[in-house]
C-alpha cells in the first residue's frame, strides 16, 4: 500500500505560541517517519512554522493561494511564488469555507491551481457537496463539476481532498460505503477527463478523529486525510498519523 498523506488544516486558529507548541509536540513525536504529514497553518504564521519545521519531515502547507501570479497591486494577496519562498510544499485550494464565504468558483480556482503548480507548490483541490445536494442525490454531479477544472490543466502534480460539507466540523462522518463510492468515482473521473496519473491521491476530510481514522484510512481509494479540529490537538493528530502509519 502506498504511503498515506495526512494534512492538518488549522483554519483560523492558533497564535504564535500555541502554533509553535503544536509543531514542537508533533516534531518530537514518532510521526515524522511515516506516513507523509503536513500542516496547513494560517498565512501570518507560515514563516515561523517553516523555521520550527527545519530538519523535520513534516511538510508546510498554506490554506489558500492567490489567483494572481504577477507581483503588484493586489493588496492582501499572497502569491504562489511567495508561498514557495516561505517554504510551502502544499497549498489548499477551494476549501468549502473559501467557496462559501469568499464565493470562490471554478474560474478563480483554476488560476490558483495553475499558479501553485507553476511555482512548485502542490495544490490540494478540495471538493464536496452540501447536505441538500447529497439528499437530492446530486452529489456526484456536484463533485464532478468542481473537478471539471482539472481537465483544463495540461500537467502537474496535485492532490484532491473530498470533504462533504455536511461532515465538516459537525461530528457527522460519511459512512465507509459513501466514502468508497465517491473516492472511486473521483479517481475514475480523473482518469477519464483529466491528464491525471493513475497515482493521483484522494484524501478524505470531515470529522476525522483518532477513533475513526483507521477505518476511514483503510477504505479503498482513500489515500489520506485532511483533518480540521482534531489537528489542533497534538495527541489526536499524532494518533491519526499513527493509524495511517499502520496501514503502510
Ligand atoms: P473537521 O475535521 O473539523 O471536520 O474539518 C475538516 C476540514 O474542513 C479539513 O479541511
- Tell me the pLDDT tens digit for each residue of 98-124: 999 999 999 999 999 999 999 999 999
**CA–CA separation, 68 and 52 (whole Å):** 29
Ligand 1 geometric centre to CA of 228 (Å): 3
**95 assigned to active site:** yes
Please check whether residue 202 is in contact with residue 187, taking contact to mean a CB–CB distance below 8 angstroms: yes
Kindly list the protein residues whose Cβ atom lies closer than 6 A to any atom of ligand 1.
9, 95, 163, 168-169, 205-208, 226-230
Instruction: Pick the residue whose CA is nearest to atom 5 on ligand 1.
Output: 228
Question: What local confidence, expressed as pLDDT, does residue 198 receive?
Answer: 66
Ligand 1 geometric centre to CA of 164 (Å): 10
Question: What local confidence, expressed as pLDDT, does residue 62 receive?
Answer: 98
Question: What local confidence, expressed as pLDDT, does residue 3 receive?
Answer: 85
Q: What is the mean pLDDT of the chain?
A: 94
Mean of the pLDDT values across residues 214-230? Answer: 97
Cα–Cα distances in angstroms (integers) from residue 94 to residues 4, 100, 145, 163, 222, in the given order: 21, 10, 13, 11, 20
Mean of the pLDDT values across residues 216-234? Answer: 97
- Nearest ligand 1 atom to the CA of 96 is 8
Question: What local confidence, expressed as pLDDT, does residue 248 receive?
Answer: 62
Mean of the pLDDT values across residues 201-230? Answer: 97
> In sequence order, what are the residues at sequence separation of 6 or more whose Cβ sits closer than 8 angstroms to the Cβ of residue 176?
215, 216, 219
Mean of the pLDDT values across residues 139-167? Answer: 94
Ligand 1 geometric centre to CA of 114 (Å): 24
Q: Is the pLDDT of residue 1 over 70?
A: no
Ligand 1 geometric centre to CA of 169 (Å): 6
- Nearest ligand 1 atom to the CA of 161 is 10
Instruction: Pick the residue whose CA is nearest to atom 9 on ligand 1.
Output: 228
Amino acid at each position: 500500500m502506498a504511503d498515506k498523506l495526512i494534512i492538518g488544516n488549522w483554519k483560523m486558529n492558533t497564535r504564535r505560541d500555541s502554533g509553535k507548541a503544536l509543531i514542537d509536540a508533533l516534531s518530537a513525536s514518532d510521526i515524522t517517519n511515516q506516513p507523509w504529514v503536513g500542516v496547513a497553518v494560517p498565512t501570518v504564521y507560515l514563516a515561523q512554522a517553516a523555521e520550527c519545521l527545519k530538519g523535520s519531515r513534516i511538510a508546510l502547507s498554506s490554506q489558500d493561494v492567490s489567483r494572481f501570479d504577477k507581483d503588484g497591486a493586489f493588496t492582501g494577496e499572497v502569491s504562489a511564488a511567495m508561498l514557495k519562498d516561505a517554504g510551502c510544499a502544499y497549498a489548499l485550494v477551494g476549501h468549502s469555507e473559501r467557496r462559501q464565504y469568499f464565493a470562490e468558483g471554478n474560474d478563480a480556482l483554476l488560476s490558483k491551481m495553475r499558479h501553485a503548480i507553476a511555482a512548485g507548490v502542490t495544490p490540494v483541490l478540495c471538493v464536496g457537496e452540501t447536505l441538500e445536494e447529497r439528499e437530492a442525490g446530486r452529489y456526484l454531479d456536484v463533485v464532478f463539476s468542481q473537478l471539471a477544472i482539472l481537465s483544463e490543466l495540461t500537467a502537474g502534480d496535485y492532490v484532491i481532498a473530498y470533504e462533504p460539507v455536511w461532515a465538516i466540523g459537525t461530528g457527522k462522518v460519511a459512512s465507509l460505503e459513501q466514502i468508497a463510492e465517491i473516492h472511486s468515482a473521483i479517481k475514475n473521473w480523473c482518469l477519464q477527463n483529466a491528464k491525471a496519473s493513475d497515482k493521483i491521491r484522494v484524501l478524505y476530510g470531515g470529522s476525522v478523529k483518532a477513533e475513526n481514522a483507521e477505518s476511514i484510512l483503510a477504505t479503498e481509494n482513500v489515500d489520506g486525510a485532511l483533518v480540521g479540529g482534531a489537528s489542533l490537538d497534538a495527541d489526536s493528530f499524532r494518533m491519526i498519523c499513527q493509524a495511517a502509519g499502520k496501514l503502510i
